[in-house]
Each structure stands twice: as C-alpha cells, then as structure tokens.
Structure 1
Amino acid sequence: MEEVCEGKDFSFPKQEERILSFWAEIKAFETQLNRTQSLPEYIFYDGPPFATGLPHYGHILAGTIKDIVTRYQSLTGHHVTRRFGWDCHGLPVENEIDRKLGIKRRDDVIKMGIDAYNEECRSIVTRYVEEWEKVITRTGRWIDFKNDYKTMDLNFMETVWWVFAQLFDKGLVYKGFKVMPYSTGCRTVLSNFEAGLNYKDVPDPEIMVAFPIIGDPHDAAFMAWTTTPWTLPSNLCLCVNANLDYVKVHNKYTGKVFVVAESRLSAIPIEKPKSKVANAPAGDTKVSNPKSKSGKTENLMDSYELLEKVKGSELVQKKYQPLFNYFIEFSDTAFRVVADNYVTDDSGTGIVHCAPAFGEDDYRVCIEHQIISKGENLIVAVDDDGCFTEKITDFSGTYVKDADKYIIEAVKAKGRLVKSGSFTHSYPFCWRSDTPLIYRAVPSWFVKVEELKAKLLENNSQTYWVPDYVKEKRFHNWLENARDWAISRSRFWGTPLPVWISEDGEEIVVMDSVAKLEKLSGAKVLDLHRHNIDHITIPSSRGLKFGVLRRVDDVFDCWFESGSMPYAYIHYPFENVELFEKNFPGHFVAEGLDQTRGWFYTLMVLSTALFGKPSFRNLICNGLVLAEDGKKMSKKLKNYPSPMEVIDDYGAVSSLLVNFGNIFSLEIICHSSLLVLLL
C-alpha cells in the first residue's frame, strides 16, 4: 500500500479509496472471518431495511455503530458473522408497484392476477441492492452482502411459518374482530406501533350534539362532544362515568334543557338574551361567552337554571332518540346510556358518543353492555377505501373525512347541533401513504401480547441498553401499554398465513413447514408466495363429505417477518440448531430510536412468546438524524442530499465526524467502559 502523503494536497476521499482497494485486494474482511472461525461466536442481528430506496444518513449512522462494536468483538477473540438483510415484503413494495401500474383498488390486483402482481413486486425488491452495497462499502463498514438474507426467500418464509405455528400451538393466536388503526390510502389495517410512526398537528372539527332523552319531563337532551362527526351515523349508545356528577340545566333564554357533567359546564355555550340578539349587527347571531368587567366568563347560572344533579350511575339505561335511523334494527339493545371509567371530564361534556365499528373503547363498551354481541357480524358502514357504504344512504360513496362537513350540516338541519368549531391536535397518519388514519373494526389474526405483558417487562429488565433511559422509559412504557398485535394483512406480497380452514369453519390446520404442506396436500411446493400456494387444498380429516380445507387469504404483517429474523435468517429449526441454541439470545443489536416501537418491539414479543427470553442481550439506540427542515430523513420524501456526493467531496470519516459527532458524546463515553464489559 502507498505511503500517506501529508500536506495541503492531501485528500481524505482519495486516501480512503486507497484503503478500500487494499482491503479488497487482501480480502481483509473474508480473511478475518476465516481466521476467527474457531473462536467463540458473537451473535449480531442486523435489522433488515426496505430495499425500496437508497440509504440515508440514518442508515449510515446506525451502520457505523454496528461496525465499531462488531470490529471490536472480532479483535477481542470472537467470530462475528455479519450478514446484511433485506425486508422484501409489505406495503413499501406494493405501493411502488401500485404507482407504477396505476393500481387504485384491491379489485385492480385481482383483475390483473395475483401471480402477475407478485412477480412485479419481486422484480423491484433487489433493484437497489448494488447501490446499497456501494454506499455501505464506501463508508468502510465490513458487512457480508454475498450471504445476505431476504425475507422473501423460501427458507426465511418457512421459519416464519414455524414461528406462527408455535404461537398457535401455545394458544397465543386468535382470530377476532377488533378496532384497529386503518389506512384508507393503503387499504389495510396497521399495527398500533405502525400507527405511532407518523403524527401531525392538523385541524379537525369539534361539535356538541343533542340527543333528546325519551320520556324526560323537561324534554332534556344529553349533550355529547365529538371530534369525528363522520362516526355519528354509526352511533349506538352514549357513555358516562358512573362516579361523575351530572347536572340537568335549563337555558333561561332558549328554553333548552341539557344534561352534562357538572365539571364540564364551562364548556357549554352561553347564549345571548333574545333582545340582545335582535339588536345585534346583521349576521351576529352566534353563541358567545359574555365577559364581565373583570374579564372573567359570566357566571353560567346567569344563563342556566339548575334543575337536577345526579351521579352518572343514575343515568344508565336511559333511552334517547337516535340521531340517524341507519341502525334502527338495533333499537331493542341500543340508543341507551351506559357507564365506563374511560369517560373523563378533562374535555368535552363528560358524555361520549359510541360507534362500536370505529373506536376501540366504543367496541369494548358496546360488547360489555350487550349493545352488540361479540360473535355478531358487526356492520362496518365504511368500505376499504374509507367511503360510506350503501348502509349510510345519505352519504353513500363519500370519503369519511370529506363527509364531516355534510354530516355537520345534517345535524344542524335536524336541530341537534349545539356548538361547532375546530381545533388543532396531533393526529396519526399512515407512515407510507401519508393519509389520515381512521379506526375501523376489521377481522384479523392476533397475537395475545397483553397476556405476555408481565414477562415482556421482566425480559426487558434483563437487557442492557445505551442510552439506558430509552429502555427504562420509552421502551418500558411501550411494553407496559402493549396491546394484542394484529399480525395479518389483507394484502398480496408477503408471507402467507399458513392456515387452512374447512368450509364449515370447524377444522383448522396450521402448517409449520413446507414438508407438512406437501405431505397433507400431495403437492410439490417450491415457493410460498400466495400465487404459488393459494390453489393448494387439503382433504378434510373427517371424510370426503366434508370437502377440502382452503388457505385463508391473509399474509403476515412484515413486522412479524422481521421480528422472526433471529430464527429465520439461519433457517432455524430446520438448520443450524446447535448454533442457535448455544448462542441465543443474540449478543448485540443497534438501530435508531424509532425502532423502539418497531423492530426492537417485535423482536422482544416473539422471543418472549417462543422461548420466554429476550432475543438480544445488548442494544445501542441512536437518535434520529434530521433533515435540514427538522423532519426525519425519509427515502420517500427525498429530503436529504446524496450521501455519496458528500462522501466523495469530504470523505466518509470526515462526514461521520461532522454529521454524527453526538455518538461520541460524554454520555456515550461514560457508558462505553461498562458496555464493553457486558458485550
């Protein structure tokens, strides 16, 4: 290798390229792996990125941390296999194909054929592999691209089947009907942690609506507050808090009588006396909050007369007039007041309107109070595109967010609108389509994460994190509030659920391997994607008259696949049994802060469910590298300069020191001595 030349003409980029050429010439990385092969294993899990775009600085930062730790372990007496991986399935790939082919609806895919669609998806998955290898290698990182793993490979997918089958046999899987975050842009349900990936501050309507009480001597009405007017057509009950005080108040000027929580009286409108309204300037007839000379809001009792005060528990079972008649068939059980502790008095009126198809608590409350039955085929009056179905006749075909204004107009026309306005709040958007999420009841397959909560928290305490507060605060809190995980998606490009069901639903067979499917079906299986196995049937074990079992349509959430990575990338338990069982949990993982709700979480859930252990022992979590506008760097938004341009101009080492100097912060240095001992 040439000597380093010092002076004003010294070029970091050129010197780095000489070093890289020398490493390639002597096969430095390969030689290191060969020479350390007999040494104790140090297991490093490299999280698979989506291969639908080029790497940004966040990937390079995490990769640098990974490289530092794995190099150190190699130098201190360990064999460290470093295989790069690719997340090949899911919405990122399907979205690209949808844009390319102009696909707008699920029916478009069915029309062109799932086989053609999936092969289109397969064709673009490795499009950027060469570019990734070029960028990562240029940063000086030693990582094995030749023996990379892909979540679309047969061996990987087979292990995913095995993981699911283990959970199913443990009684940790169920099919249910659950209200989940739903992307109308991607036409699919999202997991709760996906829903938390993209929040924005946006304006939304807020309205107060009157629900007249049937048989009330004062013709009073319950006053409910909502920020989702589009859910009002599906209202089935009102919910109060049994322990709160509620008051019935009479407006002295309008004669209207409302029931609200006593502590929320200040939220209801104070209307001007009719004489004042008559003398007001044209158009000045809106509800106002008059001010006294002291600047304080005029005493509510100057406008309202207190008629009655009761506990919320005394309102339970009172019936009210429905706002719309779309669900009049539920009249025997619905349109009444129930009580639940989720209702608070920190906002609104202390009375919550419940639409069970569009709210998690709404659904739970309606089940618990027998408004609807758990096994019942709940009517979800919004289709996969987020538009009202024919059930909602007046707004059929209208996108729900667009329907807000029309529904408010309808409520006003019925004389039920008490107050309207708008407010800005933090609202979840789809992390891929960037469309607002809604909550929608969907049939899905779930993992019973809530049942594992205590063990998850215990396993988290056994791991070592840098920085430790991410583990003890952010990740602990996320686990503490974990909910059952919807692991299925009604999509096409993914690992199919290995579930075959009989026509009568009485017989279920779950495949844990390709061999089992071949044995039961008699078919030869070379690929596990939908278009290669959906046609395969299994004879019923009960006899010919019961027909055959067919596979369910769903595929796995891609997070389930990446969470299975510690087993699937080595094709466990079909291969490498001794390697896995001797070295599990893995020694080290590292990714960005956003993975506390993503990969770190799914790793922990699946390993806890399978083995009762965490999947990793040590973890380094770096902060997010933001773009110039303060937003997260995103391949989709393309809001950052090309890393290769910066590296070519200034060199990889210089770029790392300037851009990622915080990874050498005092906090990290203070942790480092302890970290090295534990790693």
Structure 2
Amino acid sequence: MPACPCKKCATAIYSSHEHALRPPLAHPPGYERRSRLAHGRRCCTNYPSGCMRRSLSCASRRINFKRALGGNSRSVPRKSHPALLPTLSEHTMSTSFSPSHDHAAGAPAAPKYALRLKQPAFWNTPNPAMEERLLADWRATGQRRQVGAERQGRPRYWLLDGPPYANGNAHFGHLLNKTLKDVHARYASACGHAVTWRAGWDCHGLPLELAVEKRHGPQAKQDPLRFMRQCRDEAAHWKDLQAGAMSRLGLMADMDRPWLTMDPAREAASLSLLLELWQAGLLVERHSPVHWCPACRSALAASELERTVKERMETFFSVPLTPASCEAMARRARRNGAAWPEGPLHLLSWTTTPWTLWANAGFGHPRTGALTVATLAGGVRVVLAVQARDRLLRDDPSMFSHAGQGFDGALDFAELRALSLAAASPLTALEAPLLAAAFASESEGSGFVHLAPAFGPDDFALHESDGVRLDCHVGKDGRLVDVGPVPMPAALQGATLEVASQVSCAMLADAGLLVRMARRSVETTMCWRHKKAVFYRASGQWALDLHKGFDGCPEGLAQRALAALDATVFLPDDKARAPLTLMMSTRRFWTLSRDRLWGVPLPFFRHQTSGELHPDTAALWRALLDRVRTEGVEAWQACETPAGYVKSAQSVDVWFDAGAAWHSAAEDGGGQADMVVEGQDQTRGWFLSSFLLHAFKSPLPPFKKVMTHRFVVDEEGMKFSKEKGNAPDSAALFARSGADVFRLWACSQDVGDEMKWSATSLRQATQDAKDWRSFLRFHLANMEDAAHTARPSTLRDLDRLALRKLQAARAEWHACMDGGRFYQALGCLAQFRQWASAEWFELSKRTLYCANDGSAELASVQWALRESFLLCAQMLATVMPFACEEAYLAWPGHPRASLFLHALPAREAVSEPDAALRRAESMLAWRRALQPLVERTRALVEKGTPVCLVFGAGQDPEVPQDAQNPQNPQDPHGEERLRALFPGCFVLQGEHARALDMWEAGPVGDGVPVRVGKPAVRPHRCGRCRDYVGAALEAPGLCRQCVADMTPGVTPM
C-alpha cells in the first residue's frame, strides 16, 4: 500500500483497488491549499484538501467528515476546479469510539461507500473575470431587449434618469447613484413590470466651454459656430467614457440609446417649451441685481449657489452731512425740546463691501429708533443710533472721545424722512439721500448703512421705490470699469474686488473719513462649481416669473408645484421635501439667462437703437425650431440676423434642459415618471426645475416617487472629491473585487445618512458576497436539475417550515424594497440565509447525502431547495446580478436562457402555521436552547473524550406520549430523531438513558432533562454517515439507517 508522499506519516491514502499513487494534481490559478496538520506543518500537499479523496492528517490519521459534507471548515479551499473533482466517495473510520484511533501503517484500507455529493461549477469567491464574461454575453445576446420582449404588454415602469454632467470621468457618486437606480429597475422587472430606463447625460453649460477653451485656447470662441461644435464633441467624448465605467456595474439601463440634452430633438423640445412660457407671459426680462460669478462670467440661479461663513472686514467711515441737513436736524431737535449741537456734523456709516463705495447712492436707516451725536477720537462729531453707540463703546472704548449721552433721543429715525436729509458720497462727493430701509437695523453697524443699488436686491428695491441712482461699475469678469458720472481713479480701474476694497479704504483714510476696521464673520455666497465667492451685479436678465398666473393656473407655477410636491412620495424618508418646499415658496423669479454660447439659446433679436424686441419674434422662433431639430442649437449661430437688429448671445440655464426631460421624452411614454433616484443636492437643481416646469403643463407631479441619497465619505468623514483625491479607483476596485461586491456595499448602507467607505467596509462586503455565494452553492450542490419540477405528494415539516419562513422573508423584503430601504431588505434575506444554514441545511445534510434515491424525504428537501433557490436568486439578483446569473447558469437544465427572464410569482399572504409547523418550530427552538451544551459535547468528542447527550431518565410518566415527539422517551424511534436533531453527537434516550458520570445539565424541554456524561453503553460509529449509535452496527460497519438507505445493488467498495 503506498504511503503518504509527504514522508511525514505512513498513512495509506487510497483504497486497495488503487495500485499506485497518481501524479501530483495541478492546481488551477488562484487555488489555495489550506489544510494543515495539528503540529502546524502541511501534509500531503500534492493533493487538494477540498476534494473528497482527502489525505489523512498526520496528527490524527482520520477524516473530517464534516468538511467532506460541505460544512463550515477552515480547511475547505477557497476555490475548487472541475479538474479536481474525483469520484464521490468517502473514507470510513474504525467503528471504535475514539476518533483518534490509529491505523497501523500498511493496515487494510477501510471500505468506501457511495454518497450523494456534487461539486457545482460555482465557487464561493467572487470572480471579476466571470463578471466580465457575463457582461459580454449580455451585450452579445441583447439580454435587455429579451427581458423587454418578455415583459411586453405588462404594466409600464418608467425610471427617469437624472442626467449626470458629461465632464470628466465617472466618480464614486455616479457609481453609487447608478447602482441604486439599477436595483429599483431590476426590482420592478422582477415584479413583472415592463421597465423603461434610458441613461441620460447633461451636455450643455459652462464646464464644457471651459474644457474646450483649455484644450483649444481662449481664441476658440472667436468662431462661435466652430466653438459650439467642439463643445458637442467634448461632451460626447466624456459621455462615452462615463458610460463605459457605469456599464461595468451590469446596469439594465439602455446605454445604446441614451437621452442627451444635446440631442437635436431634445434641444428643439426645450426651445419649444421656452417659447410657450414666453407667449404665456411667464418669461420676463428684468434689469436687477443677480448673483454673478466672475469665474463663470455669468449670472447664476439660486440652485447654483452654496453658502458658507467667512471673515470679512467691517469698515466704519464718516461722511459730512450737507449744511441744510445739519440745520434741519437742529431745528427738529429744538422743536422737540431737546439739546442738539450746532455746526457741521458727519454721518457714521458702515459696510462689509468697500469695493461698492464708488457706486454709493445713499444711506439707509431703520424706520424707528433713537439717535444721538457722539464725538470721535479725532474730534469729528457723528450722528448714529444710540443702540449702536453703546455697542461700539463696549467693543472699542477708544473710538469715541465723548459719548454724547446728553443728545440721546433728541431725534428719532422716524422723523428723518420728513426732513429730506442728504450727505456726501464717501469717494465721489456726490449728494446721497438718507432713506428709510426695512433691512437696516440698530443692532448692526452704526444704524446707517451704505447703499449701492447695483449690487444688492434690498438696495435695488429702494432704487425702484425712491429713485436712487443706479451705477454698475463692475464688469462681467469681476473687475471695476469706469462708467461715470465721476471719473474713476486709475488705481480702481481694472482692479479686482479684493484690490478695490483695499484701495477704497486707503482713499477713505487719505480723506480722513476712515473710522474703524474690524474683522467680522458673515455668511458668504459661493459658486457651486468654482467654490469662489459671488456677488450681486445689476444686469438685464431673462427670468421665469414663478408667482404670475397664466391660462388655467391663476395661482402661478410655484403654488401649483407646491401642490404637486404634496402628492409626491419621498424615499427612504421625507428629508428632501422641506428644502424643496422652502425654495418653491420663497423664490419669486428663476433667472434663466446665462452669458454662454453652448446651450439652448434665448433666440431674441433686439433693435440696435431702441432695444426693442423684433416684432416677429414668435415667427422667427418657430422658424429656428425647425432648423434646431436637424442641426442642433448650432443653428442659432448659423441663422441670419435681420437688418438693424442684434442677436442675443445668451443661453438658458442648464437646469432648464434637464428639468424639461419629461417634456421631451415622448419615446419613453412622456408625462409622469414612476421613479427618480438622485443625490440630495438635486433638491436645489434637477428636482426643483422639474417640478416648476412640469407645473406649466400639468397639476400632477413629474415623478410619482423620489428617492434621495446622501454622499460617500472616507474613513475620516470627509466627502469624496476630485480635488482631495480621496476616492478609490473604481476600475481597480472592479478588477480586484468585482462589481457585485461594490453593489452589495452600496445596498448595505442607509442612504439617508452619509455612507462611509473604508477598507473595513470593503472587507465586510466581500465576506457578505462570499456568504451569499456559499448559500447559493449549497442549493446547486443538493437540488435536482431543472427537469424535476413536480411537487412531491408530501413534504417534510422542516421543508414546509423553511418555505414558510422564506415567504415571510419575501413579504418583508417587498415592504423594504417598496420603501427604498435596501439595507433592510438585504437584512430580511440575510436572516433567512442564516437560519437556513444553521438549521434547515444542517438538519437536511444526512438526507441529502445518505438517503436512498427513492426516499420521500429526499424528494421533499430537493424540491424545497429548488423553490428556495429560484426565489432567493431572483430577489438577490436585484443587488448581485452577476452572482445570481452565474449560479442560475450553473444549474443543470435551467429552464430559461437567463434568470432575469423569470418574474417573481404572485405575492401571497403568509398563512398561519398549522400544528405540525408549530411543533417543528418548537423543536428547533428547543435545539437552539441546547446548542451551547451540544457544542461543548462535540468539542470533548473531538479531543477524544467519550461523552454522550442523555435525554430523559428512564420511564417518566409525566412526559407527553406523542410518538412524533423526539423528546418522548416512549418513542421507539426517538433516538433516531434525536440524532437527526443533533448530528455528530452520541445520543441516549429512554431505557438507555444512563450514564456512569453526569456532570453538566442543559435546559429542560417538555419535562425531559438533558445531561452530559460518560456513556454506560459502548458507542459505535457508522462507517458511512458517521453517526454514533448505541446498538451494534450492521455488517460491514453500518448503522441500521444506512443499511436501509443503501440502494439495491450497492455494496461497499
């Protein structure tokens, strides 16, 4: 008999009919040999530890039957290979009790018996290469179209894809978002819906213009038509790159026919909607301050802004009041019977934007409040609010030489309007009126605030109501320009806002007007693209009036959108509703115009001298529409300009393009989408624009359901960003771990909170993927092929209980999926998986491996496994499509070409369990209670200590006499049923329930005590099923059950 080739032992590893050692087996790539000896060294490394023909351990010379039967064991290889699958057989052990019984070298080999053990071509470890092959097969066979044809005529489910911007590579947020969308789409398809989901991209706007300028130089804009074509090519380039990265996720989206905002048909649809809004009187031109980004060189809408707190310099300065104003104030004070100083007075004012001082047009003050006169440290007497004087004294006592308490309350702000007061502008010396302003406050500054109507909406409101002068001396690039009426100093011309502030303060100091400068934290508005501060700048802009009524909707767009918002379902929670409600209810105008070329144009022709629009604007607009449908928006640059008119150089806000997606989606069914899934930042962008524009056409919401999600952060809680470079490389991640692992991680997160990505979370997702694959693999290894579809006439109670638990898990899964709580849906399935692995699978292994082929119990468990596999694979495939499709294709004789052609069976209410199921559940609960005792017993057995589990104490009349109860000492088959509940343990019951030494007791079930002790009878171990029995074994070393299970004609090998 050949000895072990490792030379460490003389154990015979083959049966006597094998005459020579086979050559060493070649291990496939990635195969890991993990079998180790008790003394820590490897043994029999030429033979795979995972195959059924295991070498014997040098330490114990025995076979670990649990590992052979597919149980959890660290020695099971991570990967198997078809080349390593030998004949399904198993060594036997000596029938003596001790598991460490030695076999003498050269002793006759123990016989081998046939077992039902299969090795499916589906491994526990995720395989990225297999995912790539499946992806290629799906593309080659047109799987998405096949599923669409299968669902033809079923209820439609339209998932509208909120378009990512076609600029740069796909980032982590894109992949997370597409994964969540795909889970929704696959869930709807599994429920039998005909899913429509076309991938979308936003392809207009400034970032693409900047990219083209960077690639072709700033002179690229000199030829507008060529520049726009270059922008179109740039967008197409990035769209293709992003689509390739997103496709690796296995999306069921239509990537071959994506919807792009730059498609000529969609550009024409947006232009048509814009024409309707203009004709309805909702698109209006306004000359007013708007948020302006010098980096964008364009106005910004509220949805393009972010807010932060930054430090700014608070500047206090004094300006002389006109002599007439000083006399008027003194007369009014004397009339009030109060003291007031004679002679010249200054006004103490303040600002946080010194660069606007050149455009000063007045000073605002509160409507009410007490005034006083204080003397500055330099001797200048200034008028200010009493409340402001007291605060400034606390902050800087050296600011005043005399606080002027004797003048407190001599005048009130309410009296100033009747006096028509004025002061000199600080830099230009032009006369500037003092005006009551609702936004001015005694609690800030000095009580008098500098007014520059071109650079603030509140100041501009005074320009409209009181005729305050409007001078805008800042250009599109954020630099100062000389626009009069007073010549601007050379130091200010062309200066940036920061430099202009410094120069203005220096001019105040030179004139002796600068009083105090101090840093102050103020809320600053930022451009969401450039993360730089923006400012208000007066310019002519086209805007959508959100409160103006129109035909069929007297309440206006905002109010109708608010009503539609109330009818929209938000998932997984309602957090996104509040900001949307706030923005809809507080915004009066939506500024649409942008000073950009690449986008849907505002096709207006304006007269060169009068500035009036062309009288045939509507006809010209409709003519342009016909050209845009074929040529795209480039047609606007190519069309001729009527004589005497100037063509508009403005385009529409990109959120208008994306927000009109429902209007231009007739090929998708148009109208109302069933679902949208976007990040929470879209509340100010795509969600808002979609609700407002849809309100123009319908009182219904544009989407039935809206799912929002938060963002991915790193281990330190920092948001992933390109600038920080803290996001992982998705291509490397997919190549190493596969897309299923990423999808499983994404769906295991609570998307309502920030989602943390770390090495730990990746390891957990990888382990979860292995657990799910192992779960599917057990089904494949033990169920019949797909041709066996007939339900057995009777099912075991355990199998019925398993299927009922699966139905209950499915009901919870549906509720969680409908609510967008994917992590909870996975949890429902994971709970079933854990229960099945610990109890259903564990207690079914003997039947699966050892039962006769004609056994009714075997037919029952195999059919139940088939039902479980199909249902679990379909539910899990929403999250792990690659693994489930691979498992389905590994099922011999699978009935369809793809798992995704199946639809989930109709939902059924989970029925109440009958008496048999309740009894089975009771038995399992009793078993779980005893599990700690059982594990300690098994550990002692593994160490060679002869112990047994003792149930009952002989004849006990108080024990129920239920013959089907394995705890019943009167049951003649009780020991067999107890062995089935506690495999691997030596069990004694009834009249054999005696032990020489009892030292540990477990829970009492139905009055039956359970103890651990040394057996009084000699145990025997079956050479086939490895169970311990008290009765003598049948020849040749088999228990009575195995003899009965052996099929006719099968003899020991």
Specify the TM-score bucket, using the shorter chain as the normaliser: 0.7 to 0.9
Deviation at 1:214, TM superposition (A): 1.8
Given that 1:492 and 1:530 are in contact with CA atoms closer than 8 Å, whether structure 2 keeps it comes out as no
Distance in 1 (CA, whole Å) between partners of 2:582 and 2:745 is 33
In structure 2, how many angstroms separate the alpha carbons of the residues matched to 1:127 and 1:167? 33
Contact 1:236 1:355 in 2 (8 A): yes
Indicate yes or no: 2:237 matched with 1:237: no
Counterparts in 2 of 1:179 and 1:670: CA distance versus 1, 3 Å? farther
Distance 1:88 1:644 in 2: 24
Q: Deviation at 1:564?
A: 0.9
Superposed CA offset, 1:365-418 (max 9, x none):
22111224xxxxx53211111111123334111111222111111111111112
**Alignment check: 8 A CA contact 1:267 1:349 kept:** no
Aligned CA distance change for structure 1 residues 587 and 345 (closer, same or farther; 3 Å): farther
Q: Under a length normalisation based on structure 2, what TM-score does the superposition of the two structures give?
A: 0.54
User: 588-597 or 613-622, which moves further after superposition?
Assistant: 613-622
Aligned 8 A contact 2:179 2:746 in 1: no
Q: Which amino acid aligns with 1:516?
A: A
Q: Which residue is equivalent to 1:212?
A: 320
Pair 1:436–1:150, CA change in 2 (3 A): same
Partner of 1:487: 592
> What's the counterpart of residue 643 of structure 1?
730
Q: Which amino acid aligns with 2:311?
A: P
Alpha-carbon distance in structure 2 between the residues aligned to 1:472 and 1:526:
39
Question: 1:558 — aligned with what?
Answer: 654
In structure 2, the CA distance between the partners of 1:431 and 1:184, relative to structure 1 (3 Å rule), is same
Specify the code of the residue in structure 2 equivalent to 1:529: V
Distance 1:532 1:450 in 2: 30
Are positions 1:673 and 2:776 aligned together? no
1:172 aligns with 2:282: yes
Q: Deviations over 1:324-352 (max 9, x none)?
A: 228x4xx5xxx111112222344323322
Give the 3-state SS of the residue equivalent to 2:229 in structure 1: helix
Note if contact 1:181-1:191 (Cα within 8 Å) is conserved in structure 2: yes
After superposition, the Cα gap between the structure-2 partners of 1:525 and 1:670, relative to the gap in structure 1 and judged at 3 Å, is closer
- 1:516 alignment partner in structure 2: 623
Q: What CA distance in whole angstroms lies between the structure 2 residues aligned with 1:671 and 1:485?
A: 42
Distance 2:753 2:356 in 1: 51
- 1:476 Cα deviation after fit: 1.5
Residue 629 (structure 1) shift: 6.7
How big is the shift at 1:35? 2.0
Counterparts of 1:334-413 in structure 2, within 5 Å, are 335-372=432-469, 378-391=470-483, 392-394=488-490, 395-413=492-510
Query: Which residue in 1 is equivalent to 2:569?
Result: 464
Equivalent residues of 1:500, 1:508 under 8 A apart: no
Task: Kindly report which structure 2 residues correspond to 1:217-616, keeping only aligned pairs within 5 A, or say none.
Answer: 217=330, 218=341, 219-243=344-368, 245-251=369-375, 254-269=378-393, 288-289=396-397, 303-309=403-409, 310-316=411-417, 317-325=420-428, 328=430, 331=431, 335-372=432-469, 378-391=470-483, 392-394=488-490, 395-451=492-548, 452-502=557-607, 504=610, 505=612, 507-511=614-618, 516-517=623-624, 526-530=630-634, 532-537=636-641, 551-570=647-666, 579-580=669-670, 584-616=671-703
Q: Does 1:127 align with 2:214?
A: no
- The alpha-carbon deviation at position 21 of structure 1 amounts to 4.0
- Show CA shifts across 1:127-179 (max 9, x none): 13333222212222211111112211210111011110111121111111121
Distance 2:518 2:814 in 1: 53
Shift of 1:254: 4.5
Distance change >3 Å, CA 458–CA 525, structure 1 → 2: closer
**In structure 2, distance between residues paired with 1:311 and 1:425:** 29
Give matches, 1:147-226, under 5 Å. Answer: 147-196=257-306, 199-215=307-323, 216=326, 217=330, 218=341, 219-226=344-351
State the one-letter code of the partner of 2:143: A
Name the counterpart of 2:251.
141
Contact 1:158 1:514 in 2 (8 A): no
Larger radius of gyration: 2
C-alpha deviation, 1:431, in angstroms:
2.7
Given that 1:252 and 1:304 are in contact with CA atoms closer than 8 Å, whether structure 2 keeps it comes out as no
Aligned partner of residue 720 in structure 2, secondary structure: coil
CA contact (8 A) 2:290 2:536 kept: yes
Cα deviation digits, residues 430-469 of structure 1 (max 9, x gap): 2333432121111111100244332232221111112443
Please give the alpha-carbon distance, in whole angstroms, between the structure 2 residues aligned to 1:147 and 1:532.
26
Mapped contact 2:710–2:754 kept (Cα < 8 A): no
CA distance in 1 between partners of 2:619 and 2:199 (Å): 26
Q: 1:42 to 1:656 in 2, by over 3 A?
A: closer
Indicate the SS of the match to 2:405.
strand
Which of 181, 198, 203 is 1:83 aligned to? Answer: 198
Relative distance call for 1:59 and 1:307 in structure 2 (3 A) is same
Deviation for aligned residue 1:15: 4.5
With 393-402 and 632-641 compared, the bigger mean Cα shift is at 632-641
Match of 1:275 in 2: none
Q: Secondary structure at the match of 2:712?
A: coil
Distance 2:157 2:607 in 1: 46
Is the Cα contact below 8 Å between 2:367 and 2:414 reproduced in 1? Answer: yes
In the alignment, residue 736 of structure 2 is paired with which amino acid? D
> Which of 248-257 and 429-438 deviates more?
248-257
What amino acid does structure 2 have at the position aligned with 1:460? L
Corresponding position of 1:101: 216
Alignment pair present for 1:619 and 2:727: no
Decide whether aligned partners of structure 1 residues 11 and 69 sit closer, same or farther in structure 2, where only a CA change above 3 A counts.
Answer: closer
- 1:260 is paired with a residue whose SS is strand
Which residue is equivalent to 2:180? 65
The Cα shift of 1:184 comes to 0.8
SS of the residue 2:700 aligns to: coil
Q: Offset of 1:426 from its aligned partner? A: 4.1
Output the CA distance in 2 between the equivalents of 1:564 and 1:385: 30
Aligned residues: 613
Question: By how many angstroms is 1:302 displaced?
Answer: 7.5
**2:573–2:752: 8 Å Cα contact kept in structure 1?**
no
1:29-84 superposed Cα distances (whole Å, 9 cap, x missing partner): 22112222322222221011111111112112221221111222222232221111
- The 8 Å contact of residues 223 and 349 in structure 1, kept in 2 or not, is answered as yes
Per-residue deviation, residues 296-329 of structure 1 (Å, max 9, x unmatched): xx9x998443414233222233111111228x4x
Instruction: Give the Cα separation in 1 of the matches to 2:533 and 2:422.
Output: 34
Name the SS for the 1:393 alignment partner. Answer: coil
Change over 3 Å in CA distance of 1:268–1:357 after alignment to 2 = same
Q: Deviations over 1:621-672 (max 9, x none)?
A: 1012235675543456654222121222222232344466433679999998
Q: 1:674 deviation in Å?
A: 7.9
Q: Which amino acid aligns with 1:387?
A: R
Question: Normalized against structure 1, the TM-score is what?
Answer: 0.82
The Cα shift of 1:506 comes to 5.3
SS in 1 for 2:424: coil
| Unaligned runs of at least 5 residues, structure 2 | 1-81, 83-119, 331-340, 549-556, 756-810, 822-1053
Q: State whether residues 205 and 227 of structure 1, in contact with CA within 8 Å, keep that contact through their aligned partners in structure 2.
A: yes
Q: Measured at CA, do residues 664 and 269 of structure 1 come closer, stay the same or move farther in structure 2, by a change above 3 Å?
A: closer
Instruction: Indicate if the aligned counterparts of 1:211 and 1:321 stay in contact, CA closer than 8 A.
Output: yes
Contact 1:114 1:531 in 2 (8 A): no
Contact conserved, 1:246 with 1:259, CA < 8 A, in 2? no
Contact 1:85 1:149 in 2 (8 A): yes
AA partner of residue 356 (structure 1): P
- Tell me the residue number matched to 1:277: none
Identity rate, percent: 24
Deviation string 1:491-523 (CA, Å, 9 cap, x unpaired) is 11111123344554154444589863488xxx8
Matched, 1:23 2:130: no
Closer, same or farther: CA 70–362 of 1 in aligned 2, 3 Å: same
Q: Is the 8 A contact 2:427 2:508 kept in 1?
A: no
Cα distance change of structure 1 residues 557 and 534 upon mapping to structure 2, 3 Å threshold: farther
Match of 1:542 in 2: none
